[in-house]
Amino acid sequence: MTSLSALPGPPALSLDLGGRTALVTGAAGGIGRACALRLAAAGAEVRAVDRDVAGLDELAERARDLAGTVEPHVLDLTDLDAAELAAAGTDVLVNNAGLQLVRPIEEFPPDVFHTVLTVMLEAPFRLIRGALPHMYGQGWGRIVNVSSVHGLRASAFKSAYVSAKHGLEGLSKTTALEGAPHGVTSNCVNPAYVRTPLVERQIADQARAHGIPEERVPAEVLLKDSAVKRLIEPEEVAEAVVYLCSPQASFVTGTSLVLDGGWTAH
Ligand SMILES: NC(=O)c1ccc[n+]([C@@H]2O[C@H](COP(=O)([O-])OP(=O)(O)OC[C@H]3O[C@@H](n4cnc5c(N)ncnc54)[C@H](O)[C@@H]3O)[C@@H](O)[C@H]2O)c1
């Protein structure tokens, strides 16, 4: 089987977000947790949004000794009005929450399609809508949308996810155009497969949809199109998110920072 072991992490970017507030959705696990911890390590006051209460408690515990703070905010993002309200007053918004279902279109439950689009596209729109007035008022804001290679490329059996991520790319670019005169940047980060629960949970579905045993899924599905044959770590994605919040990235807007091990080079 192809090795999924990670390389040692690179040194972190030096960034001071003291005095800034940041909202991260899907902060209870995976990439969102890494982003929340990284932003708090840079000094930010992080509003950690998720529906997973136990995961948020664990995150708050882990964040205790960091320069900034992490404040858990329990919320199901299908409550769109509450999502928009939660984003008011934040300086940095990381739209990260997501879910996945791997099924052929003819077997894909319409209600799941609707939920995926609600959480991964409509909620980001409402969160951005809630965050922009404060950002515009102070002439500074950073919006980072955790997209995916699947915002740029399709894979079979992921109709809802690919649709949501392609939509998020469009939302991010539109936000960049409207936000530029107000000092607000909006970008996507686009990882290939990351070592998170979302990926672990889809191995069985991928095996079934592709008609292969589970142990062949990493090499033959997950890493098939990546030139670098390993999963990326959540902390590496968080580092890209922090870069997009840095002064060095103030001219970077409306773009997609692709972390795909060469997948889209094909
Ligand atoms: N893991 C990957 O390989 C990968 C690759 C590219 C992009 N991404 C994207 O990264 C983001 C995070 O994914 P992850 O891999 O860390 O997944 P994850 O499953 O580890 O974490 C997702 C988090 O979102 C939360 N969430 C889901 N639905 C929610 C809802 N209705 N309300 C509130 N919270 C909700 C979950 O509770 C969970 O904590 C997603 O947008 C995903 O599409 C992941």
> 15 CB less than 6 Å from ligand 1?
no
The 10s digit of each residue's pLDDT in 55-92 is: 999 999 999 999 999 999 999 999 999 999 999 999 99
Instruction: Order the strands of the 92-95 sheet from edge to edge.
Output: 69-74, 45-50, 21-25, 92-95, 141-146, 184-191, 256-259
Q: Average pLDDT, stretch 199-226?
A: 93
> 199 CB less than 6 Å from ligand 1?
yes
> 164 CB less than 6 Å from ligand 1?
no
**136, 161, 193, 243: which is the annotated catalytic residue?**
161
User: What is the share, in percent, of the chain residues with pLDDT greater than 90?
Assistant: 93
> 196 CB less than 6 Å from ligand 1?
yes
pLDDT of residue 12: 73
Q: Average pLDDT, stretch 181-194?
A: 98
Does the CA dihedral 173-175-181-187 come out positive or negative? Answer: negative
pLDDT of residue 2: 36
Candidate from 11-20, 57-66, 257-266 with smallest mean pLDDT: 11-20
pLDDT of residue 225: 93
Q: Is 161 a catalytic residue?
A: yes
> 48 CB less than 6 Å from ligand 1?
no
Cα(100) to centroid(ligand 1), Å: 8
Confidence tier at 40 by pLDDT (50, 70, 90): very high
Smallest CA-to-CA distance from 94 within 52, 146, 53 is with: 146
Confidence tier at 10 by pLDDT (50, 70, 90): low
| Ligand 1 atom nearest to 119, measured from its CA | 31
User: What is the share, in percent, of the chain residues with pLDDT greater than 70?
Assistant: 96
The preferred substitution site among 24, 75, 99, 117 for testing ligand 1, maximizing ligand atoms within 8 Å of CB, is: 99
> 28 CB less than 6 Å from ligand 1?
yes
The preferred substitution site among 196, 222, 224 for testing ligand 1, maximizing ligand atoms within 8 Å of CB, is: 196
> pTM value?
0.95
The preferred substitution site among 70, 194, 233, 241 for testing ligand 1, maximizing ligand atoms within 8 Å of CB, is: 194
> What gap in Å lies between CA 141 and CA 46, rounded to an integer?
14
> 58 CB less than 6 Å from ligand 1?
no
List of E strands, the chain: 21-25, 45-50, 69-74, 92-95, 141-146, 184-191, 256-259
Domains and their CATH numbers in the chain:
16-198+235-260 (3.40.50.720)
Q: Average pLDDT, stretch 125-135?
A: 99
Ligand 1, atom 17, residue with closest C-alpha:
198
Average pLDDT in the chain:
95
